[in-house]
Amino acid sequence: MARTARIVDITPKAGAWPNLLDATIPGAPNVQVARVIASLGDREERIAILFPQPAQPVDQAAVLRAVRAHLADFTVGYVESSQLGLVHLWVDDASPGELVFLAAAAAAKLQHSWGWDESPSIRVRVGDQSFCFQVQHSGERSHEVLELTAA
């Protein structure tokens, strides 16, 4: 059965410009840290998705520690690579299945909005799992993310 997640970007705004976000975290250089609230049915999760800056060195373990220390109540996902229509996401292996789905949906939404990816669908791979999503804008900083297949 296809699932639909609601993803709301809660990354803090930076300054007076409405579309300029503060995606930095102390101790996490060369990454952008998006913060979202992801919901599916009655479940709501705070998720941080990390995007390393292209061609910049990143100590993934150190960055994950810094983000977890700063955003202790967030589940953390790390974009290992992305291209149009495809995201490879790392999420802790101990994460329950529904949380992995929500993190993948959040990564698809952010690929669409932050990555300017207008692909008709966005596939997100998390370990050996693969999800295919269609992202639809539903309001200011909010998107509905529909699972197209349980691939």
Classify residue 147 by burial, with Cβ atoms within 10 Å: 0-12, 13-18, 19+.
Answer: buried
**Cα–Cα distances in angstroms (integers) from residue 113 to residues 55, 83, 94, 127, in the given order:** 21, 14, 28, 23
Amino acid at 151: A
Number of structural domains (the chain) is 1
What domain range includes position 48?
A: 4-149
pTM: 0.91
Q: Which of 91, 82, 140 has its CA nearest to residue 111? A: 82
* Rounded Cα gap, residues 144 and 151, in angstroms: 19
CB 123 within 8 A of CB 131: yes
User: pLDDT tens-digit profile of 92-137?
Assistant: 887 888 999 999 999 999 999 888 889 999 999 999 999 999 999 8
**CATH assignment at residue 65:** 3.10.310
Give the residue with greater pLDDT, 139 vs 107.
107
CB 143 within 8 A of CB 4: no
CB 5 within 8 A of CB 101: yes
* Rounded Cα gap, residues 21 and 13, in angstroms: 4
User: pLDDT tens-digit profile of 39-86?
Assistant: 999 999 999 999 998 888 999 999 999 999 999 999 999 999 999 999
What does DSSP say about strands 129-139 and 142-149: parallel, antiparallel, or unpaired?
A: antiparallel
